Each structure stands twice: as structure tokens, then as C-alpha cells.
């Protein structure tokens, strides 16, 4: 597609519920990233994929967070047993490859845990 598409745009989850957030990157983009943006803060790195390989998951805050990109295109960020501190905007970004610094961000999913 023309841009990075994320769905849903908004998600309200009850505490303890599992959620799945989807990212559809620009076609052909090898590198894909997830960032977490708390209210009033800058985004923070969660994880990085190169094609289907998850090369860095050092930013995932706990083992309740899990990301996958099984076919090297669409990615899903899953949060199990959501807690209030998980409330944030989750941004996905992609770029052509490792040697490119031209990130394209999606519009994010705003997750609210009640």
C-alpha cells in the first residue's frame, strides 16, 4: 500500500483481556518496527523485524508482550492479560531496509485499558 496501515485505530480493553494490534507496512519494506508512546511522551522502541526475523525485542516491557511477522509483511503485536500501564499509542513503522533511514510511520493504535 501507499502507507503504513494500522488497525484498529482505537481499542478499549478490560484489564486482563488479551489484545492484538495489526500493522500492514509499505509493500516491499524489509524492516518493521513497533514503538510504544505513552500519553505526552515520545515513542519508545519495542521491537524490530527484518523480514520475518525478529532481530531485537529488547524493548518489550514484559513477557506479556509478543510480536510476530510470519510472512515478512503484516505484523501483529499481541498483549496478554492487559494492565492499565499498557495504555498507550502503539506505533508501527517500516523502512526499505537496514541501510535506509527513511522511516514511514503509521497512525498508531490507541489502547486504553480500563
Given a contact cutoff of 8 angstroms between Cβ atoms, the answer to whether 24 and 73 are in contact is yes
Smallest separation, CB 55 to other proteins (Å): 8
Given a contact cutoff of 8 angstroms between Cβ atoms, the answer to whether 56 and 75 are in contact is no
- Four-point Cα dihedral 76, 111, 8, 21, nearest 10: 10
Smallest separation, CB 16 to other proteins (Å): 26
* CA 25 to chain CA mean position, Å: 11
Dist CA 6 CA 4 (whole Å): 7
- The backbone torsions φ and ψ at residue 16, rounded to the nearest 5 degrees and listed phi first, read 100, -15
| Residue of the chain from 44, 62, 78, 112 that contacts other proteins (CB under 8 A) | 44
Q: Is 33 in the site for other proteins (CB under 8 A)?
A: yes
Segment contacting other proteins by CB under 8 A, of 18-26, 62-70, 71-79, 85-93: 85-93
| Residue of the chain from 1, 28, 70, 99 that contacts other proteins (CB under 8 A) | 99
Smallest separation, CB 27 to other proteins (Å): 18
Q: By CB under 8 A, name the binding residues for other proteins.
A: 31, 33, 35, 40-45, 48, 56, 89, 91, 93, 98-103, 105-108, 110
Amino acid at each position: 500500500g501507499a502507507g503504513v496501515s494500522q488497525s484498529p485505530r482505537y481499542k478499549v480493553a478490560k484489564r486482563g483481556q488479551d489484545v492484538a494490534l495489526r500493522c500492514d507496512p509499505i509493500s516491499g519494506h524489509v524492516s518493521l518496527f513497533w514503538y510504544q508512546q505513552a500519553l505526552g511522551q515520545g515513542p519508545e522502541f519495542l521491537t524490530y523485524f527484518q523480514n520475518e526475523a525478529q532481530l531485537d525485542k529488547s524493548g518489550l516491557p514484559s513477557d506479556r508482550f509478543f510480536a510476530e511477522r510470519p510472512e515478512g509483511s503484516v505484523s501483529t503485536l499481541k498483549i496478554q492479560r492487559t494492565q492499565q500501564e499498557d495504555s498507550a499509542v502503539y506505533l508501527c513503522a517500516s523502512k526499505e531496509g537496514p541501510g535506509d533511514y527513511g522511516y514511514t510511520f503509521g497512525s498508531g493504535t490507541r489502547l486504553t485499558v480500563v
